[in-house]
Chains A and B, each alone.
Chain A
Amino acid sequence: MHMQLEIKGLTNIYKTGEGIRNIHLQVKKGELLTLLGPSGCGKTTILRSVGGFVTPQEGQIIIDNEDISKYSPEKRPTAMVFQSYNLWPHMDIYNNLAFSMKLKKMKKEAINERVQWALKLVHLDGMEKKFPSELSGGQQQRIALARALLLDPQVLLLDEPFSALDAKLRHELREQLREIQAIQKLTMIFVTHDQEEALAISDRIAVMNKGKIEQLDAPKEIYNSPKTYFVANFIGKMNFIELQAQDGIVQLGNSSFEVADVGNSKVQTAIRLEDIEITDVDPDVNGIIKKIMMLGHYAEVTIQTEFGLLKTFIEKRKLETLSVEQHVGVCIKAARFYGNNELKSNIKRSSTHVKEFEAAY
């Protein structure tokens, strides 16, 4: 597969000690790669290094087999959409869009045509004469996107472009971006701290923490098998229970798990909300319902158990049989174990099996 963008050994550490260390990334042509992480994790530093606004201490950035590390931003085949204040307030929309083409001394008719094309692409035809201050936040970001697209970038860089917008608009723009990407076959790097946004739009996600990539995978993989405790904690909702392993065995209510190389250390047990079920048949642990929170077509139910509070999702129609302070049984259908931030493989054993196991030693 042809790589549109390759980042090799990118390192840039700030005086504060924050920054990025030895980052390697490859982005395929037409792929949308998201850099996801909390603030200060280095995701924006990577993006700005690719755009040329940060000069990294070490590393190479290769676009279409050419090392562009030495070029200044104006010479790079990249275009960037910033978080906010994107548009030039003293120019009308037409000039905002046409500026780059005027710099290239393109013919007026050609510029007109391209501007019209771009406006149509972001569904804002007829806005040429307006000034940025007359547009809503969402419209401004769409114009900013159009302006970046008019550069015909080989890689489009988006630095939390929707974070200043309200939730509904964010969803709309997200869909529109995906649409445009499909039409234009764009290669994109998208930076966000919003895990939901990342899961929704990405082909692949690089989850970052403290200047390192913790996991680089498709959204489904990231959600289903987070490779580190950090990723498990950051992506989606999780129940966490700290348990003491004994000779590699972790006991979770009536279930027990054989967890690879943990010995007698403490492990973090992570359980997705949808992997917890309220049941009367053979429960792993018993508890009392403490809270029921409606979230639309489903509800989040909080249950007090011997492991602390466990949360689970319940479909709306199953809710009728449940009420607060009710005693219920809880069945844990899947769990992951993390020791020292790393995922440990495990095998679930039945209770009887565990007893036999103990008897043998």
Chain B
Amino acid sequence: MIAKKQKLLGIAMVLPSFLSLIILVVWPVFISIKQSFQNEENQFTWDNYKYVLTDPMMVNNFKYTMLVTLISCVLVLIISYALAAYLRFSNSWFSKVISRLYFIPMFIPGIIAIYGFINMYRDNGWIARFIGSENMPSFVYDIKGLVLMNLWFNIPFTTMLLLSALSAIPGSVIESARDVGAKKLTIFFKFILPLSYNTLLVALTFAFMGIVGSFTAPYLIDKNAPQMLGVSMQQHFSVYHELGQSSSIAVILFLMCAVVGFIYIKNMMKNESHS
């Protein structure tokens, strides 16, 4: 009796989140997928995918999205790793100051950060006033600006992840490596990097997911063509009213994330088997 009661209680506790998952996530996802295979008369069609995957503008949007995402991810990882390594291995007062400051961007609402960025970096913005607008490289309405903005959004969290991974490497692991004769580069490539590799992968996954589907920053900063997929999807939905096409963009975006997610999970399982 008691066992049965506990079982029911367990199900009752899971139910709210399970139902909200069904109503708010699974059902809309199902509708979107269905829509992506339908034309305006609600008949089955491949046209939406044909358009999305072959239309020159859309192909450019895909390429552009991948380009922005890859450049941003690589830069975020390099910068965050360097920053985290500095914070972990340096004991200077400067590193202590930085370790208190680096996550501040996380507490600034995205939209405010973007407007601040535009005011600072636009062709007649604050920096241009000081150095002269003729000397100012264009950041706003340009890929450079978008990538910079992605760095702002992603570096703090990525650094936090990597710093915790690097802090988890005991000092004695590095000291014993030095003891057996490993030099600095060897220590980095044979010990620190492999021991933080998993977290690097987690960080990459998070950064990729966040950037590939981003909307606000590319919508406000980037130029009109080519577009990031998030912006393109919004346009197909609310400007062109092409529900099927925007749904198929969403499905493809989801598949891209799923691939990255799959690689991540596969790697996690491989590593789980020996630690």
A residues whose Cβ falls under 8 Å from a Cβ of B = 51-53, 72-75, 78-80, 82-86, 88-90, 92, 99-100, 103-104, 131, 133-134, 144, 147-148, 151
Contact with A along B82-124 (1 / 0, CB 8 A): 0000000000000000000000000000000000000000000
A78 to B181, CA, bound (A): 10
B182 near A: Cβ within 8 Å? yes
Shortest distance from the beta carbon of B176 to any chain A beta carbon, whole Å: 6
The answer to whether A74 and B172 touch across the interface, beta carbons within 8 angstroms, is no
B28 near A: Cβ within 8 Å? no
The answer to whether A131 and B179 touch across the interface, beta carbons within 8 angstroms, is no
Q: Which range holds the interface residue count of chain B?
A: 10 to 19
Q: Residue A99 contacts which of B175, B180, B183, B274 (CB distance < 8 angstroms)?
A: B180
Contact with A along B165-187 (1 / 0, CB 8 A): 00000101101111111110010
Nearest chain-A residue to B275 (Cβ)? A133
Given A73-B175, A90-B195, check contact A85 B180 (CB 8 Å). no
Most chain A CB atoms below 10 A, which of B170, B177, B181, B183: B181
B175: which A residues are within 8 A, CB to CB?
51, 53, 73, 80, 82
A234 to B34, CA, bound (A): 79
A89: which B residues are within 8 A, CB to CB?
173, 195, 275
Most chain B CB atoms below 10 A, which of A84, A99, A131, A133: A99
Nearest chain-A residue to B197 (Cβ)? A90
The answer to whether A83 and B172 touch across the interface, beta carbons within 8 angstroms, is yes
A73: which B residues are within 8 A, CB to CB?
175, 178-179
Shortest distance from the beta carbon of A145 to any chain B beta carbon, whole Å: 12
Shortest distance from the beta carbon of A61 to any chain B beta carbon, whole Å: 15
A53 to B195, CA, bound (A): 22
Chain B residues 242 to 271 lying within 8 A of chain A, measured CB to CB, are: none
11 interchain pairs, CB-CB under 8 A = A74-B178, A74-B179, A74-B182, A74-B183, A75-B181, A79-B179, A82-B175, A85-B172, A88-B173, A90-B275, A147-B180
Given A85-B172, A88-B173, A90-B195, check contact A104 B181 (CB 8 Å). yes
A88 to B179, CA, bound (A): 13
A76 to B181, CA, bound (A): 9
The answer to whether A74 and B274 touch across the interface, beta carbons within 8 angstroms, is no
Given A90-B195, A131-B275, check contact A51 B177 (CB 8 Å). no
A88 to B195, CA, bound (A): 9
Shortest distance from the beta carbon of A296 to any chain B beta carbon, whole Å: 36
A104 to B181, CA, bound (A): 9
A179 to B182, CA, bound (A): 29
The answer to whether B182 and A103 touch across the interface, beta carbons within 8 angstroms, is yes
Q: Residue A100 contacts which of B173, B181, B183, B191 (CB distance < 8 angstroms)?
A: B181
Most chain A CB atoms below 10 A, which of B176, B180, B190: B180
Nearest chain-B residue to A51 (Cβ)? B179
Nearest chain-B residue to A100 (Cβ)? B180
A67 to B204, CA, bound (A): 48
The answer to whether A80 and B181 touch across the interface, beta carbons within 8 angstroms, is no
The answer to whether A85 and B181 touch across the interface, beta carbons within 8 angstroms, is no
B132 near A: Cβ within 8 Å? no
B194 near A: Cβ within 8 Å? yes
The answer to whether A72 and B178 touch across the interface, beta carbons within 8 angstroms, is yes
The answer to whether B180 and A79 touch across the interface, beta carbons within 8 angstroms, is yes
Given A75-B181, A84-B172, A85-B172, 7 extra CB contacts under 8 A: A52-B178, A73-B175, A90-B191, A99-B190, A100-B180, A151-B179, A151-B181
A147: which B residues are within 8 A, CB to CB?
176, 180
B170: which A residues are within 8 A, CB to CB?
85
Nearest chain-A residue to B198 (Cβ)? A90
Q: Residue B172 contacts which of A52, A86, A90 (CB distance < 8 angstroms)?
A: A86
Q: Residue B176 contacts which of A75, A86, A92 (CB distance < 8 angstroms)?
A: A86
A52 to B172, CA, bound (A): 13
B177: which A residues are within 8 A, CB to CB?
88, 99
The answer to whether B179 and A80 touch across the interface, beta carbons within 8 angstroms, is yes
Nearest chain-A residue to B181 (Cβ)? A74
A78: which B residues are within 8 A, CB to CB?
179
A79: which B residues are within 8 A, CB to CB?
179-180
Nearest chain-A residue to B274 (Cβ)? A131
Shortest distance from the beta carbon of B26 to any chain A beta carbon, whole Å: 38
